[in-house]
Amino acid sequence: MAAIRIDGVSRAFQGGLALEEVTLEVHDREVLTIVGPSGCGKSTLLRIIAGLDSPTAGLVELDGKVMNAVAARDRNIAMVFQSYALYPHMTCFENLALHLELKKVPKKEIEARVHETARQLEIEPLLWKKPRQLSGGERQRVALGRALIRNPAVFLFDEPLSNLDALLRERVRHDLKELFKKINATVVYVTHDQIEAMTLADRIVVLSKGKVQQVGTPEEVYGSPANRFVASFIGSPSMNQFEAEMTNGRFRLGTEEIRTTLDWSGPVVIGVRSEHVVLSESGVPAELRWVEPLGSHYLVGVQVGTTSLTSTTKARPGSDRVYLRIPEENIHVFEKQSGRNLILGHARTAAPLQPA
């Protein structure tokens, strides 16, 4: 068992609050990714779990035991950093063996475990090299090996792929996905890259300005974003969002009235993913602005009055005059003031609802 509970954790620095009453659970053997823009508090949260930093308020529990006063070295947690943090004067073998030597593990066992870990990560040929003789991807594997060999209760990853180029990032991401499945351990993984967060996670935590915006599976945060921030941060291209005046669940887009599944009246922000802006034979007349061929599909920019929208299509549009359809079940309605997703707050209902 290795479940983590973060209960009302805040962290104040001189510049203000880096974390504000963060409460969340990491389930045993789950991969939880924490995603958010630069400065939102991701690394601070990870460092607090690791015991490298202390919360100003709140509790950190590991398997039901409060860890606040437990030193980092006694938490049975291994952390992999963006900077790799390998000892440059040691060979890879020595880097991997160090923790076990400090624990006074017998020499023969150390040797066996280093080789077993190296085999698992396919870095055996690198064992006698020093970190400076390795590529970024190879260094990352050794850093991973150093965490794996400890066989900890929890793995923490702080932007481990940030120093790799785009192609290598993708490959190492797939390797990590396989590795996580194989080791079947509790993993907390911090990244600012929403694709990394989506692809590696069992569940995602979206963080902004030190506050949790949403916790859910990749499908939940993509398909049912809790608010406008999550809607724009998760997904590429970002969700289309535009202001509208809603009357009894309908709003005007260009010449047409569009129906939603929410009975609501008042000023709102409408959200639609690009794949749900469907170019069609009829519907809302729009003007084609640009087309980006992306190989398997096209990204298309269209204009309806003052509203710009992005659509994903299979085929290149044949004319500059196009028509749009937006299926009502794919329309998100956000409250204008708070940005919260009104459709999540209310069952889609025919009963009239009044704005707060």
Binding track, positions 259-278, relative to ligand ATP; x by CB under 6 A = --------------------
Binding positions for ligand ATP, 230-249, rule CB under 6 A: none
Confirm if 337 and 355 have CB atoms less than 8 A apart. Answer: no
Measured distance CA(315)–CA(278) in Å, rounded: 11
Under rule CB under 6 A, residue 22 binds ligand ATP: no
Measured distance CA(227)–CA(216) in Å, rounded: 13
Under rule CB under 6 A, residue 13 binds ligand ATP: yes
Burial of 26 (0-12, 13-18, 19+ CB in 10 A): buried
Binding positions for ligand ATP, 145-164, rule CB under 6 A: none
Under rule CB under 6 A, residue 18 binds ligand ATP: yes
Measured distance CA(243)–CA(267) in Å, rounded: 7
Instruction: Pick one of 1, 15, 236, 318: the residue that binds ligand ATP (CB under 6 A).
Output: 15
Residue 56 beta carbon to ligand ATP: minimum distance, rounded to whole angstroms = 12
Of residues 16 and 64, the one with the C-beta less far from ligand ATP: 16
Residue 45 beta carbon to ligand ATP: minimum distance, rounded to whole angstroms = 7
Instruction: Pick one of 43, 208, 213, 310: the residue that binds ligand ATP (CB under 6 A).
Output: 43
Q: Which stretch binds ligand ATP (CB under 6 A): 11-19, 118-126, 237-245, 274-282?
A: 11-19
Under rule CB under 6 A, residue 44 binds ligand ATP: yes
Residue 228 beta carbon to ligand ATP: minimum distance, rounded to whole angstroms = 20
Measured distance CA(356)–CA(353) in Å, rounded: 9
Residue 197 beta carbon to ligand ATP: minimum distance, rounded to whole angstroms = 12
Short-list 213, 148, 157, 117, CA closest to 31: 157
Residue 190 beta carbon to ligand ATP: minimum distance, rounded to whole angstroms = 7
Under rule CB under 6 A, residue 192 binds ligand ATP: yes
Under rule CB under 6 A, residue 33 binds ligand ATP: no
Instruction: Pick one of 40, 60, 96, 187: the residue that binds ligand ATP (CB under 6 A).
Output: 40
Residue 256 beta carbon to ligand ATP: minimum distance, rounded to whole angstroms = 42
Under rule CB under 6 A, residue 211 binds ligand ATP: no
Residue 48 beta carbon to ligand ATP: minimum distance, rounded to whole angstroms = 9
Of residues 19 and 279, the one with the C-beta less far from ligand ATP: 19
Residue 140 beta carbon to ligand ATP: minimum distance, rounded to whole angstroms = 17
Under rule CB under 6 A, residue 42 binds ligand ATP: yes
In this structure, the number of other CB atoms found within 10 A of the CB of residue 47 comes to: 18
Residues that bind ligand ATP (CB under 6 A): 13-15, 18, 36, 38-44, 192
